[in-house]
Structure 1
Amino acid sequence: MAEPRIILHHFDESPFSEKIRLIFGLKRLAWSSVRISRIMPRPDLMPLTGGYRRTPVMQIGADIYCDTQCIMRELERRFPAPSLVPKGYQGLAWASAMWTDRCFFQNTVNLVFGTLADKVPAAFIADREQLRGAKFDVAAMKAAIPQMRDQFRSHLEWIDIQLRDERPWIAGDAPSLCDIDAYMNIWYARSNLDNAADLLGEYDHARCWAARLHAIGHGERTEISSSEALAIATAATPQTEELPDLDDPNGRKVGDKVEVMPDDYGKVRVGGAIVALSAQHIAIRRHDPQAGEVVVHFPRAGFLVFAA
């Protein structure tokens, strides 16, 4: 059987997308790139996700994977070697995203946009205010730059401390989720800040570690259009098998109609019927006039599930 076609809906400047692109490089995967706009609308993607609008989204046929937690878990399941999960750190490796994607990332965002304040387009600000449901106050971010530098340094030092025994990677002898999650913020700062070298200057171990990760690359990338990706989903049938969770603390069952949304920002509810359920994953089946039948996958940590 031919390998499934991996499609990533992303934009090149997206730090969360960089995590997945780096995994493609680490696992030496071929993948199809669909470049989406940094801001709405995204008319060919919304039929696939049901309205979920954070970046990136991975598509394999008519199965749609939302949030990097979910995407990374599926890539590890399908392509287990080399593993993203270091022996002895299995729980911490998956949990590391709660540090890197939330408080570390928010600190990095404030530092980046505070520095770029006068250059941020009004359309981008308006889009992010809608996404976050709150004011995207670049003036306040600019005023907070000294505090953000302090906090960025704290996060960076944690990485450096972990590497001071001359280990090449944060958790073991090979790059893992711990490295990929943390690197995202270093990559984002370097991509946007002229003084990123100064921020990294005192941390030789972290700086060399980041260079090793950068050298991994992004695998074998080819470009396709968003309309082509939508047509692929429309022609495909979801491959997700039904999977109940007999220990679900709220008694949810396969077939239950629910709505799923992030708990922090981008709070768009996506509705459908449960296909698969576990402590880490929920998949829901939905029907769209353009995409047809799709199964949309979400992580559980950081997401809320409501009865429809």
Structure 2
Amino acid sequence: MTDMILHHYPNSPYSEKVRIAFGVKKAAWKSVTIPNMLPKPDLMPLTGGYRKTPVMQVGADIYCDTQLIMLEIEKRAPTPPLLPKGREGEARALAMWIDRNIFWAAVGVVMGALGDKLPEAFLKDRAAFSGRSFDAAALKAAASVALQQTHAQLVMAEQMLADGRSYLLGDAPCLADCALYNPVWFIKERLGSGKPVPPLDRLPLITAWSERMKAAGSGSPTEIRAADAIAIAKAATPEATSVDANDPSGLKAGQTVSVTPDDTGKVPVSGTLVGLTNDRVSIQRHDEQVGDVVVHFPRAGFVITPA
């Protein structure tokens, strides 16, 4: 089987969502460490401009956004499952809620505490990326609201664990647990210093749950160079995909389209439509450095625009 290659950096919270999934599955994977802000000269040829972290590569197939990356890991390393049988939609819906709501509140908590300690170049990069103010004073002023919102939403997850279950949907970790570990890990990693910090100091079940999740580790990573990943893509052929002729969008195979995130990092990626299903859109593109690749995006949260 072709190796799963994760392009990421250590402090990336969304990358931790994927790394913990590798840990749950005890999976082997290849690791490429990328910069935490632009420029990303070795990643852009693969993605066509998509700049979010992480990105997963399998040969000449490039998977963007953790929504889709997690589904692809599930397909390639199916045991133990992250999508409980009969509750697949529930796990995915919970993960989407966490990604879109709890995560950004948690970012406000961390940035409110650390914003005045971060390099100016990083703050400017994240302001351009998010379309939100990353001025240190504004971040600090908003920290109280972010803390309240993070606590209010984590309480819901705390209540899910109140019946004694070990994980959000039962006795084994699922996709929703990996998603929730992302913001909880981010707060603990950046602010914890070995002890519970607000709002986690008022959430004992979440704190204990996070230690169970942490014990899963990150699987078996092997570091490779970015140049190696580019060479792998150039030597490979993308896997076959197909376009649903009855897709409600009316889009057809062979059209030139652009795909753009609807929340942050709104950089359109253009190419030829070669795959369209309920959960993903796939476009083929060519780059001199990497050759022909297919870049895959989730449907939810991404806008497809015909050229």
* TM-score for the superposition, normalised by structure 2: 0.96
Q: Does 1:124 align with 2:122?
A: yes
Between the aligned partners of 1:263 and 1:248, the Cα distance in structure 2 is 20
Aligned match of 2:98: 100
Between the aligned partners of 2:153 and 2:71, the Cα distance in structure 1 is 25
Question: Displacement of 1:134 after TM fit?
Answer: 4.1
Question: Displacement of 1:268 after TM fit?
Answer: 0.7
After the TM superposition, which segments of 4 or more aligned residues of structure 1 sit over 6 Å from their partners?
none
Report 1:121-270 matches (<5 A). 121-194=119-192, 197-199=196-198, 200-239=200-239, 241-270=240-269
Question: Displacement of 1:97 after TM fit?
Answer: 2.6
Please give the secondary structure, in 1, of the residue aligned with 2:99: helix
Question: Displacement of 1:141 after TM fit?
Answer: 1.7
Unaligned runs of 5+ in 1: none
* Contact 2:191–2:197 (CA under 8 A) maintained in structure 1: no
Between the aligned partners of 2:283 and 2:62, the Cα distance in structure 1 is 10
Residue by residue, what CA displacement relative to the aligned partner does 1:239-293 show, whole Å, maximum 9, x if unpaired? 1x23221331121122111000100111111011111111210111101111100
* Contact 1:255–1:273 (CA under 8 A) maintained in structure 2: yes
Aligned match of 1:278: 277
Deviates more, 1:250-259 or 1:32-41: 250-259
Residue by residue, what CA displacement relative to the aligned partner does 1:172-193 show, whole Å, maximum 9, x if unpaired? 2210011111111100000111
Flag the 1:134–1:208 CA change in 2: closer, same or farther, 3 A. Answer: closer
Please give the secondary structure, in 2, of the residue aligned with 1:198: coil
Between the aligned partners of 2:213 and 2:131, the Cα distance in structure 1 is 34
Please give the secondary structure, in 1, of the residue aligned with 2:202: coil
1:287 is matched by which residue type in structure 2?
H
* TM-score for the superposition, normalised by structure 1: 0.96
Please give the secondary structure, in 1, of the residue aligned with 2:172: coil
Once the two structures are aligned, what percentage of the paired residues are identical?
Answer: 49
* Contact 1:86–1:172 (CA under 8 A) maintained in structure 2: no
2:177 is matched by which residue type in structure 1?
D
* Contact 1:65–1:71 (CA under 8 A) maintained in structure 2: yes
* Contact 2:102–2:154 (CA under 8 A) maintained in structure 1: no
* Contact 1:242–1:254 (CA under 8 A) maintained in structure 2: no
RMSD after superposition: 1.3
Residue by residue, what CA displacement relative to the aligned partner does 1:112-135 show, whole Å, maximum 9, x if unpaired? 011012101101011112222443
Question: Displacement of 1:137 after TM fit?
Answer: 2.6
Between the aligned partners of 1:137 and 1:93, the Cα distance in structure 2 is 35
